[in-house]
Structure 1
Amino acid sequence: MATTEGNKGNRHPVAPLNPGLYVPTVAFFTSDDSIDIDTTVSHTIQLIKSGIAGLVTHGSNGEAVHLSHTERQLINRTTRKTCEQEGVPDMPLIVGCGAQSTRETIQLCQEAAGSGGTHVMILPPSYYGALLTTDLIIDHFRSVADASPLPVLIYNFPAASGGLDLSSDTILELAKHPNIVGVKLTCGNTGKLARVVAGNQDSSFRTFGGSADFTIQTLAAGGHGVIAGLGNLAPRACVELIRLWHAGKLAEAAQLQGVVARGDWAAIKGGFVSIKAALQRYRSYGGHPRRPCALLEGGLLESQMAEFEEIMEMEKQLAC
């Protein structure tokens, strides 16, 4: 069991993360490009009511690289306060804290602990990837885990890390650290996922798929759920897919997985800006990303939105 509060040797026990859907939220901005507190609150409430297992801030969907440290903490505090007001004060809040130096990564972890986070999620440093050996990367994660007041999840996402792809051997080595409690595999390598599940002797270590399009594959290999950006748009569909699988309704689960995978493919191709555009279209909020990113316009936007119609119709049905 992981621990929190203070450096190693001075942490309190933390229960393992519950299996299920964790939603990496998008960041919302006002017309003057400030953090949109009201929309952050309303979106968080919608997600809580859909039956998710937890929330993630400052993941790859959350525009963390567009935010200052102060803005990150504001979003964390707003999300935590909303959870408390909605009667779920203990809902897990995983905070993305990856940075290019070990020093700043530790600083972000400390700030996450002070602003309502329960766990942190760390991308491997990659800017100087050609200079980083596997041993240096392992040392980075261990140093962060030693100093972090919150339990650490490894975030393996090669597309966001200059192509750096942690192997199952590296992940299993890191999983031996008492304050490293899970991994998110956005690499989509289900063989790696199965090896991590099978090779981990700690029953509290959590292995999550990083996209909704391989939810069944994750669960079939013994994974504990998914951390999926599509959950911003269709949390009920993603939760229902997990429920059907665990209920043994495999044919229904497979059918729903197809719908979810098609919707997720639209989000994967369009990135977080497509999720914001779809939120604006189907929920009347979402807004623009920070520059230099931008939403599509005209016919390109309409084509993009058409790809979300099926999953959003499913979400509407499940909400009834």
Structure 2
Amino acid sequence: MANTSTARPFTNGVYCPLITPFKPETEELDYEALTTQVVRLAKVHMGIVLLGTNGEANHLSDEERSKVISISRDALDKNGFTNIPLLVGTGTGSAKETIKLTTQAKAAGADYAIVISPGYFSFAMGRDKAALKRFFIDVLDKSPLPVMIYNFPGAASGIDFDSDFLIDLSEHQNCFGAKLTCAGIGKGHRLSAHTQSEAYKKRHPTPFFVMPGFSDYLLPAVVSRASGCITGTGNIIPKTIVKLYEASVKAVSSGSKEDLDKALELQDIVSDADWVIIKAGIGGTKYALDKFVQPGLGGVPRAPLPLVGEEIKALVDNGMKRVIEFENSL
């Protein structure tokens, strides 16, 4: 069933795991706000990731998941972005259910799947690498979409893959990448070196993408052969992060100190902003969208995630001033 071909190729660059906006009072999905955000990001060349951690995928029903995908695909197509792929989170507690969700995601318009480690039973099998490998191989074998491995210990009860494990999975023909929300730059470098080698390319017809899960070390990651990043801060400052990525690629390509200095200046700004958004969490990200981009664009989280409090509001208000001024100047 595995199928690594797609009409919309995945490319190097920066991608944003979109928040899923819910309406205050009812916590119902705000599809108008979602499509506004999808198109806004596409216009500034920020890639689209749906139903990830920021997207509160675990808070959605199967029907809601499919609708998030289908209306996002429709919004992109209607606005002339027919070639932009959708990377969609489909990981859940079992291989069987993950395969089902991936099949449904493809039917709704997804091009690629990103699958997190099954963390609920980590107390029973979190250190059982053979069991974890069986999970991913089963998914990779049967997924109708190419799969990106999502390594996020914080959202998987501490399960953290090393580079040996990821390199092993990278050899599967239906595995097209890894998102590393573990800040493991050495891990990412080893994985990139393996998958960018001429020997690997001869065995695999399509590229493999190594994507850090943060933008606060995007420049060092690009130096270390990363393909870009997938960053929740892209919800707020997409133009700035795209500019940082472009500057990082230019600095690495040219070897010029002047280009490196420019990239470092951008990285300084983004690193500060990324840390604010990481501390602010999903509620703080939604608050920042409402305050700095468009009222109602962020909405509220679904319970049990808390509504944003005054302390987080103050953190966002004060911590994002410099980067918002820069974003608005672009």
Normalising by structure 2, we get a TM-score of 0.90
Is residue 131 of structure 2 the alignment partner of residue 136 of structure 1? yes
Matched-pair contact (CA < 8 Å) for 2:8–2:85? no
Deviates more, 1:292-301 or 1:118-127: 292-301
Aligned length: 310
Match of 2:174 among 152, 162, 179: 179
Matched-pair contact (CA < 8 Å) for 2:50–2:89? yes
Is residue 247 of structure 2 the alignment partner of residue 256 of structure 1? no
Is residue 326 of structure 2 the alignment partner of residue 314 of structure 1? yes
Is residue 310 of structure 2 the alignment partner of residue 298 of structure 1? yes
Matches within 5 A, 1:204-243: 204-243=207-246
Looking at structure 2, the residues matched to 112 and 102 of structure 1 have their Cα atoms a distance apart, in angstroms, of 15
Is residue 45 of structure 2 the alignment partner of residue 48 of structure 1? no
Give the drift of 1:49. 1.0
Match of 1:3 in 2: none
Give the drift of 1:67. 0.7
Deviates more, 1:128-137 or 1:65-74: 128-137
Is residue 12 of structure 2 the alignment partner of residue 19 of structure 1? yes
Deviates more, 1:179-188 or 1:122-131: 122-131
Deviates more, 1:217-226 or 1:123-132: 123-132
Matched-pair contact (CA < 8 Å) for 1:109–1:120? yes
Looking at structure 2, the residues matched to 12 and 230 of structure 1 have their Cα atoms a distance apart, in angstroms, of 30
2:307 is paired with a residue of what secondary structure? coil
Looking at structure 2, the residues matched to 14 and 140 of structure 1 have their Cα atoms a distance apart, in angstroms, of 27
Match of 2:184 among 189, 192, 207: 189
Matches within 5 A, 1:84-95: 84-95=77-88
Cα deviation 1:37-71 (Å, max 9, x = unaligned): 1101111111011122x210111110111111111
Looking at structure 2, the residues matched to 24 and 71 of structure 1 have their Cα atoms a distance apart, in angstroms, of 17
Matched-pair contact (CA < 8 Å) for 1:145–1:179? yes
Matched-pair contact (CA < 8 Å) for 1:16–1:205? no
Q: Structure 1 300/101 Cα, relative in aligned 2: closer, same or farther at 3 Å?
A: closer
Match of 2:74 among 75, 81, 89: 81
Give the drift of 1:300. 4.5
Looking at structure 2, the residues matched to 292 and 219 of structure 1 have their Cα atoms a distance apart, in angstroms, of 36
Deviates more, 1:28-37 or 1:183-192: 28-37
Consecutive unaligned residues of structure 1, counting only runs of 5 or more, are 1-6
CA RMSD of aligned residues (A): 1.5
Give the drift of 1:299. 4.9
Is residue 117 of structure 2 the alignment partner of residue 107 of structure 1? no
Consecutive unaligned residues of structure 2, counting only runs of 5 or more, are 252-258
Cα deviation 1:123-153 (Å, max 9, x = unaligned): 0112111332101111111110111110000
The one-letter code of the counterpart of 2:151 is: N
The one-letter code of the counterpart of 1:109 is: T
Give the drift of 1:30. 2.3
Is residue 291 of structure 2 the alignment partner of residue 281 of structure 1? yes
Looking at structure 1, the residues matched to 188 and 153 of structure 2 have their Cα atoms a distance apart, in angstroms, of 15
2:167 is paired with a residue of what secondary structure? helix
How high is the sequence identity, in percent, across the aligned residues? 32
Matched-pair contact (CA < 8 Å) for 2:151–2:179? yes
Looking at structure 2, the residues matched to 214 and 127 of structure 1 have their Cα atoms a distance apart, in angstroms, of 29
